[in-house]
């Protein structure tokens, strides 16, 4: 109906649009399933190809793909929620997902399991990650973990040898301070990013210290001591000379563009991100990347978790949940389809799919698979879903940490200010 | 009645497309946002009426709101006059007697075309980096530049420079205005031996006043609502230390990052009232310095 | 007596003109130098973008230098077809939306502006104030109410929300701009025409519009550029990638968690500027010296 309007309205141009629309048969009797994801050129091509395969296989159902860049995805989704016009199947990230679940925008899948939806071969950990209050909501389409990425050329030039100078899977903040300074001395490039304003590193540190980011009752976990110690730890590394000047770090606070990361711009030799960003970061660099965990304290209590990077979920606006969940099921299980998708969204959580992909991995993909093998067993347990407002707490941390970097206020002062604001945010949410 | 119709018919006939658009498309959403400002609305669930609570919270507890106002005011007060002066200067230089003038105009308009693109964000970071182009130029004249993007005292200046650099649209409007000034006035003034300064103040300014006024009001409104520059350069957050927390950046975060659409609407209406106040003042003062041809004699 | 004074006046005028020509020549040289220098600052980002569009992705960010080590011309070919839908479609979509918007804006806004500037009718001040108000509200808070409105009209996933408002004088910026120019036209024009029995429409069409060519050209240029570059509207209202406009497509190149294609993105950004420049160069020619006013003085 809507499409008809447009074609009429635009007359001549409409026929061209209709031409462009060929290959997407749209018969009125068909059930139409809208699938919406954030992507990039490669992911879009693969996903549209998978949709074509599915439509070929499934008469009577037409899946329609909709895609945007990450920066715009949630703006549009928010608008669609308000309009009651969400696509049937949406992509979600760990974190935001739980706000959607809490508000009922994403609906449980339990009644479809065993019928239209097959989760029998999905890793239990992935199922747990998509479960809230005993109900299963979200299908993981890629595992993710914290990952440090370093410039192998710079490390080599400085004589810092992974496995000898430091263990990339278990090294301390003190060791980091030392080899980062060595790299700076040898190459002129600071050996590491300064993570004072990096909330992901902070959340690792909290768990390494035996605390939790959020307590069972949803209150904020980190204590004044932990926050202070975290910032002092990085202050020490900074003072050892292995990081860029504090002001330079402060200028990048809040910026998440991969192209601006230290390891990409060549301003540092090591940057701390997520494992599913490895391929993207490598594609912006000439030098080869090596991988390591985040640093740890001497006690080596695991701080990082393995969690899904992305989920597919069913929305409350879906008009045909049966057909939608059948498509979701194929998206994670169908070997023909998952072969096309590959590792583009991260390491699949379905064992058969993983095995089938093993032979055709690219070099970088193989590196991230190896990383996952190595960290198995030395990661922390997945905490309960973060409460509403966690997103804002994170932003507040990044904002106030700049005051530490610029030495505008003392660490204890900023730490107590941060905890006060964090608690106020959680109360308000 | 018939007389009333006859007197008003032409006016309303010409206004009718706007009236239809206003009542069908524009006023509804605007009133809806006013209504939402009295509600708690997270987009997912229906809005809940809470009266003036958002407004009380804003003025009593919300420090970031105050910070955002301060940043925005500073930006408006500094960037708007600079941009207008720049735009008028270049427009006058481009008004006459230049070969390849079309290309020059296009060149000067270029920065405005690149607008809020990601290229500009990346470029601005490179230019204002500690070891970037700007500081290199400054060091030539013996000044050690600051960490522009990290230092809360300087970060806003990079945005002001960006705004002034994108002076293309007021320039073009000035140009169209200058072209409407009859040239014989200048010739007559020259016979009276008037210098360029005198000509500027005796002819250009009074005759260009309606256009100057337009640019002033519109640039002010635009500056109050300025969003994309600060958003892309600060990564959407207003960092460092909220020194780039433009009002609309704060509003956008409240609305789309934290899903407080009700609160964001309240913020929007406060901004609207502030802009309206400034605009009314501008219109009121315009009586004394803007005179229109069709109201003369 | 009168003869003598007339001839001396003519002589003085001639002398002044000659003197002015000499001065103008000197000024022109200086102006060229000044303009050339400033345009360097203006054009730098474009040069940077052009350089980036010719580099492999691995060299854009690590390497500060402008000159690409290797020229990746295939960024253009690759970028054109990088997305599942080719840029041929995106450019066509953008062209359709933009051309219709320009036509809609110029016609409907000049209607409203004519009513406000030249006609008398009751309630004018109130309508004018309401029109200005639509300029002041931050766009982000009306986005959602507007989306709901267009959804109820069944217009989501069509171009209607992007085009129809343009035909209903939806952008007060243009109305106000035209008002300022219309008001500068001498009142005697309308009065004379009225006495000759011209209808208000005839006056609008045969007198006001032709005399306001520079203002209309300016409005057309802005209208073109802003519609061409708009991405928030297309972002919200278009679902199907085959319906996307160029700016929306450009934003699909950058990934937070996968492989971005910066080189091809910059290549397509460069191409997307070309229609704007072309339109600008052609239409700025219409910003010409006032046609009628000097004659009437």
Q: How much is the average pLDDT of B279-286? A: 94
User: Do C233 and C87 fall within a single domain?
Assistant: yes
CA distances from B174 to A224, B209, C180 (A): 58, 10, 12
Is C21 among the domain residues? yes
Residue B110 to residue C44: CA distance in whole angstroms: 10
Report domain extents, chain B. Answer: 54-295
Share of chain A above pLDDT 70, in %: 93
User: Do C157 and C259 fall within a single domain?
Assistant: yes
In sequence order, what are the residues at sequence separation of 6 or more whose Cβ sits closer than 8 angstroms to the Cβ of residue A239? none
CB contact under 8 A, C115 and B28: no
What does the block give as tokens for C237?
């209202």
pLDDT of residue C297: 37
CB contact under 8 A, B150 and A406: yes
- 3-class secondary structure, A429: coil
Choice among A199-208, B97-106, C116-125 with the minimum mean pLDDT: B97-106
pLDDT of residue B294: 65
CB contact under 8 A, B251 and C176: no
Interface test with C, best of B1, B5, B7, B11 (most C CBs within 10 A): B11
pLDDT of residue A179: 94
- 3-class secondary structure, A105: coil
Choice among A324-333, B200-209, C17-26 with the minimum mean pLDDT: C17-26
Tell me: pLDDT of C295 over 70: no
Tell me: pLDDT of C296 over 70: no
Distance from CA of B71 to the nearest CA of A (A): 16
Tell me: pLDDT of B4 over 80: no
| CB nearest to C120's CB, from B11, B98, B114 | B11
User: Do C127 and C169 fall within a single domain?
Assistant: yes
User: Which band of pLDDT confidence, cut at 50, 70 and 90, is reported for residue C7?
Assistant: low
User: Do C100 and C232 fall within a single domain?
Assistant: yes
Tell me: pLDDT of B64 over 90: yes
C119-141 core/surface letters (b: 16 or more CB in 10 A; e: else):
bebeeeeebbebbbbbbbbbebb
Tell me: pLDDT of A21 over 80: no
Q: How much is the average pLDDT of B6-10? A: 84
pLDDT of residue B74: 96
pLDDT of residue B134: 85
| Top-ranked range on mean pLDDT: pick from B185-189, B209-213, C192-196 | B209-213
Residue B295 to residue C186: CA distance in whole angstroms: 9
- Determine the residue of chain B that is closest to A401 in CA distance: B241
Distance from CA of B200 to the nearest CA of A (A): 44
Residue A186 to residue A157: CA distance in whole angstroms: 7
pLDDT of residue A404: 95
Cα B128 to chain center, whole Å?
23
Residue A213 to residue A181: CA distance in whole angstroms: 31
Distance from CA of B277 to the nearest CA of A (A): 31
Higher-pLDDT residue of C221 and A253 is C221
Residue B30 to residue B33: CA distance in whole angstroms: 5
Q: What is the DSSP string of chain C?
A: -HHHHHHHHHHHHHHHHHHHHHHHHHHHHHHHHHHHHHHHHHHHHHHHHHHHHTS-HHHHTT---SS-SS--THHHHHHHTSSSS-HHHHHHHHHHHHHHHHHHHHHHHHHHHHHHHH---TTHHHHHHHHHHHHHS-HHHHHHHHHHHHHHTT-TTSSHHHHHHHHTT--HHHHHHHHHHHTTS-HHHHHHHHHTT--HHHHIIIIIHHHTHHHHHHHHHHHHHHHHH--HHHHHH--SGGG--HHHHHTTS--SSS---HHHHHHHHHHHHHHHHHHHHHHHTT--S-SSHHHH-
pLDDT of residue B128: 87
Greatest CA separation for chain B: 77
| Domains of chain C: total | 2
Residues of chain B whose C-beta is under 8 A from some C-beta in A?
42-45, 121-122, 125, 129-130, 147-152, 234-242, 253, 255-259, 261
CB contact under 8 A, C269 and B117: yes
What phi and psi values does residue A184 have, to the nearest 5 degrees?
A: -60, -45
Interface test with C, best of B174, B180, B230 (most C CBs within 10 A): B180
Tell me how crowded residue C36 is: count the other CB atoms within 10 A of its CB: 11
CA distances from A41 to A73, A368, B157 (A): 15, 21, 36
Q: With CA atoms as reference, report the closest residue to B274 among C173, C135, C125, C136.
A: C136
pLDDT of residue C188: 86
Q: How much is the average pLDDT of B78-98? A: 87
Residue C162 to residue C180: CA distance in whole angstroms: 26
User: Do C205 and C256 fall within a single domain?
Assistant: yes
Residue A362 to residue B161: CA distance in whole angstroms: 45
The predicted-structure confidence for B97-144, as pLDDT tens digits, reads as follows: 666 777 788 888 888 888 767 777 778 888 888 888 888 888 888 888
pLDDT of residue A344: 84
Is C77 among the domain residues? no
What is the domain range of residue C165?
A: 83-296
Q: How much is the average pLDDT of A298-309? A: 90
State the average pLDDT for chain B. Answer: 89
The predicted-structure confidence for C54-84, as pLDDT tens digits, reads as follows: 888 888 777 667 777 778 888 899 999 988 8
CB contact under 8 A, C260 and A82: no
Sign of CA dihedral A323, A328, A334, A336: positive
pLDDT of residue C27: 75
| CB nearest to B44's CB, from A105, A245, A252 | A105
Residue B157 to residue B229: CA distance in whole angstroms: 12
Vertex C169: Cα angle to C163 and C175 (nearest 5): 135
- What structural domains and CATH numbers belong to chain A? 2-142+309-368 (3.40.190.10), 144-306+388-428 (3.40.190.10)
* Domain at B54-295, CATH from 3.40.718.10, 3.40.50.620, 1.10.3720.10, 3.50.50.60: 1.10.3720.10
pLDDT of residue B69: 96
Is C10 among the domain residues? yes
User: Which band of pLDDT confidence, cut at 50, 70 and 90, is reported for residue A166?
Assistant: very high
User: Do C40 and C102 fall within a single domain?
Assistant: no
Report whether A237 contacts A175 (CB < 8 A). Answer: no
Count CB pairs under 8 A between chains A and C. 163
Residue C273 to residue C262: CA distance in whole angstroms: 16
Sign of CA dihedral A48, A52, A55, A58: negative
Q: What is the DSSP string of A315-379?
A: BTT-S-HHHHHHHHHHHHH-HHHHHHHTTTTSB-SBHHHHHHHGGG--HHHHHHHHHHHHHTTSS
Is C70 among the domain residues? no
- 3-class secondary structure per residue, A242-277: CCCCHHHHHHCCCCCCHHHCHHHHCCCCEEEEEHHH
| CB nearest to A2's CB, from C158, C248, C261 | C158
User: Which band of pLDDT confidence, cut at 50, 70 and 90, is reported for residue C6?
Assistant: low
Is C65 among the domain residues? no
What phi and psi values does residue A111 have, to the nearest 5 degrees?
A: -70, -15
pLDDT of residue A15: 38
| CB nearest to B122's CB, from A103, A259, A402 | A259
What does the block give as tokens for A191?
């050996």
pLDDT of residue C220: 95
Distance from CA of B241 to the nearest CA of C (A): 24
In sequence order, what are the residues at sequence separation of 6 or more whose Cβ sits closer than 8 angstroms to the Cβ of residue A131? A137
Which residues on A lie below 8 Å from C248 (Cβ)?
Answer: 68
Distance from CA of A247 to the nearest CA of B (A): 5
Is C221 among the domain residues? yes
| CB nearest to A254's CB, from B121, B129, B239 | B239
Interface confidence, given as ipTM, is 0.91
Tell me: pLDDT of A297 over 90: yes
Question: Which chains have 3+ CB pairs within 8 A of C?
Answer: A, B
Tell me how crowded residue C41 is: count the other CB atoms within 10 A of its CB: 12
Report whether A90 contacts A313 (CB < 8 A). Answer: yes
What residues are paired with A310 via a beta bridge? Answer: A93
Q: How much is the average pLDDT of B79-104? A: 84
A92: enclosing H helix or E strand? strand A89-93
The predicted-structure confidence for C233-259, as pLDDT tens digits, reads as follows: 999 999 999 999 999 999 888 887 878
What does the block give as tokens for C287?
């910003």
What does the block give as tokens for B175?
């140009």
Q: Is A82 on the interface with C (CB under 8 A)?
A: yes
pLDDT of residue C160: 95
Tell me: pLDDT of C20 over 70: yes
Residue A63 to residue A324: CA distance in whole angstroms: 9
C-alpha gyration radius of chain A: 23
Tell me: pLDDT of A27 over 70: no
pLDDT of residue C64: 65
CB-based burial label for A230 (10 Å; 0-12, 13-18, 19+):
buried
User: Which band of pLDDT confidence, cut at 50, 70 and 90, is reported for residue A26?
Assistant: very low
Is C73 among the domain residues? no
CATH number of the domain within which C277 lies: 1.10.3720.10
- Determine the residue of chain C that is closest to B279 in CA distance: C132
pLDDT of residue C1: 42
Plot region of A254 (φ>0 → left; ψ -120 to 50 → alpha; else → beta): left
Is C66 among the domain residues? no
CA distances from B78 to A23, B164, B229, C137 (A): 55, 10, 16, 22
CB contact under 8 A, B17 and C108: yes
């Amino acid at each position: 109906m809507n499409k008809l309007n447009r074609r009429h309205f635009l007359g001549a141009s409409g026929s061209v649009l209709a031409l462009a629309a060929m290959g997407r048969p749209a018969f009125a009797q068909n059930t139409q399933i809208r699938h919406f994801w954030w992507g990039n050129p490669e992911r879009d091509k693969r996903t549209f190809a998978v949709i074509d395969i599915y439509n070929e296989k499934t008469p009577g159902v037409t899946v329609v793909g909709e895609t945007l860049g990450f920066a715009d995805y949630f703006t549009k989704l928010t608008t669609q929620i308000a309009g009651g016009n969400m696509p049937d199947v949406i992509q979600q990230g760990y974190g935001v997902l739980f706000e959607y679940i809490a508000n009922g925008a994403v609906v449980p899948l339990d009644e479809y399991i065993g019928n239209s939806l097959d989760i029998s071969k999905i890793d239990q950990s992935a199922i747990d990650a998509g479960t809230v209050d005993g109900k299963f909501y979200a299908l993981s389409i890629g595992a993710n973990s914290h990952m440090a990425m370093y410039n192998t050329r710079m490390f080599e030039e400085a004589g810092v040898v992974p496995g000898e100078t430091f263990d990339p899977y278990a090294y301390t903040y003190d060791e980091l301070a030392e080899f980062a300074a060595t790299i700076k001395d040898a190459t002129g490039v600071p050996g590491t990013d300064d993570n004072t304003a990096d909330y992901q590193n902070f959340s690792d540190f909290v768990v390494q210290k035996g605390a939790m980011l959020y307590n069972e009752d949803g209150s904020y976990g980190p204590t004044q001591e932990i926050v202070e110690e975290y910032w002092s730890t990085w202050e020490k590394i900074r003072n050892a000379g292995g990081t860029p000047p504090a002001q330079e770090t402060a200028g990048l606070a809040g910026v998440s563009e991969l192209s601006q990361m230290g390891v990409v711009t060549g301003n540092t030799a090591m940057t701390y991100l997520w494992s599913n960003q490895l391929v993207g970061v490598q594609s912006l660099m000439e030098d080869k990347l090596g991988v390591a965990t985040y640093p740890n304290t001497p006690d080596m209590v695991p701080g990082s978790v393995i969690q899904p990077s992305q989920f597919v979920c069913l929305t409350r606006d879906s008009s045909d949940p049966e057909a939608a969940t059948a498509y979701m099921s194929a998206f994670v299980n169908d070997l023909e389809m998952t072969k096309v998708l590959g590792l583009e969204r991260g390491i699949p959580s379905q064992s058969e799919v993983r095995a089938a992909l093993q032979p055709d991995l690219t070099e970088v993909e193989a590196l991230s698979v190896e990383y996952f093998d190595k960290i198995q067993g030395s990661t922390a347990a997945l905490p309960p879903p973060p409460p509403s407002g966690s997103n804002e707490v994170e932003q507040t941390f990044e904002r106030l940490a700049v005051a530490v970097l610029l030495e505008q206020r003392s660490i204890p002062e900023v730490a107590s200010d941060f905890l006060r604001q964090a608690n106020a945010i959680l109360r308000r949410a | 009645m018939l007389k009333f119709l006859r007197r008003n018919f032409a006016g309303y006939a010409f206004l009718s497309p706007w009236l239809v658009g206003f009542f069908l498309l524009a006023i509804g959403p605007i009133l809806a946002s006013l209504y939402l400002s009295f509600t708690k609305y997270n987009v997912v669930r229906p809005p809940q009426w809470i009266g003036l609570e958002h407004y009380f919270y804003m003025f009593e507890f919300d420090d970031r709101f105050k910070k955002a106002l301060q940043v925005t005011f500073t930006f408006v007060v500094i960037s708007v006059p600079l941009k207008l002066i720049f735009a008028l200067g270049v427009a006058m230089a481009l008004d006459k007697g230049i070969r390849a003038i079309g290309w020059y105009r296009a060149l000067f308009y270029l920065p405005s075309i690149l607008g809020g693109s990601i290229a500009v964000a990346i470029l601005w970071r490179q230019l204002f980096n500690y070891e970037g182009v700007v500081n290199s130029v400054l060091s030539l004249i013996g000044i050690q530049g600051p960490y522009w993007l990290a230092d809360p005292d300087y970060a806003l200046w990079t945005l002001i420079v960006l705004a002034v650099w994108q002076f293309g649209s007021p320039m073009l409007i000035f140009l169209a205005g200058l072209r409407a000034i009859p040239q014989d006035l200048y010739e007559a003034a020259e016979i009276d031996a008037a210098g360029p300064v005198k000509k500027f103040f005796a002819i250009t300014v009074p005759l260009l006043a309606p256009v100057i006024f337009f640019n002033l009001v519109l640039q002010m409104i635009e500056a109050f609502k300025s969003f994309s520059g600060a958003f892309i350069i600060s990564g959407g957050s207003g960092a460092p230390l909220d020194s780039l927390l433009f009002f609309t950046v704060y509003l956008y975060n409240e609305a789309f990052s934290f899903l407080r659409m009700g609160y964001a609407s309240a913020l929007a209406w406060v901004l609207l009232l502030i802009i309206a106040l400034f605009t009314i003042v501008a219109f009121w003062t315009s009586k004394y310095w803007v005179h229109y041809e069709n109201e003369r004699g | 007596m009168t003869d003598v004074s007339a001839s001396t006046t003519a002589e003085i005028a001639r002398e002044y003109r000659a003197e002015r020509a000499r001065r103008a020549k000197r000024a022109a040289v200086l102006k060229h130098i000044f303009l050339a220098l400033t345009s360097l600052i203006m054009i730098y980002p474009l040069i940077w973008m052009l350089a980036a569009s010719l580099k492999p992705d691995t060299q854009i960010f690590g390497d500060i230098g402008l000159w690409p080590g290797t020229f990746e011309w295939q960024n253009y070919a690759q970028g054109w077809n990088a997305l599942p839908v080719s840029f041929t479609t995106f450019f066509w979509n953008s062209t359709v939306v933009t051309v219709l918007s320009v036509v809609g804006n110029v016609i409907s806004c000049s209607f409203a502006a004519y009513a406000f500037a030249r006609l008398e009718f009751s309630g004018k001040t109130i309508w004018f104030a309401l029109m200005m108000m639509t300029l002041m509200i931050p766009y982000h808070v009306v986005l959602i109410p507007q989306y709901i409105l267009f959804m109820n009209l069944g217009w989501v996933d069509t171009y209607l929300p992007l085009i129809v408002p343009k035909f209903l004088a939806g952008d007060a910026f243009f109305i106000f701009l035209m008002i300022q120019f219309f008001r500068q036209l001498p009142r005697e024009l309308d009065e004379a025409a009225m006495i000759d029995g011209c209808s208000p429409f005839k006056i609008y069409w045969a007198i006001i519009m032709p005399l306001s060519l520079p203002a209309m050209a300016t409005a057309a240029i802005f209208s073109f550029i802003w519609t061409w570059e708009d991405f928030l509207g297309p972002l919200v209202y278009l679902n199907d990638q085959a319906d996307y406009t160029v700016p929306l497509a450009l934003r699909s190149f950058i990934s937070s968690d996968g492989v971005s294609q910066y080189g091809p993105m910059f290549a397509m950004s460069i191409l997307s500027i070309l229609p704007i420049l072309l339109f600008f160069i052609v239409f700025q020619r219409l910003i010409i010296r006032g046609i009628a006013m000097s004659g009437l003085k």
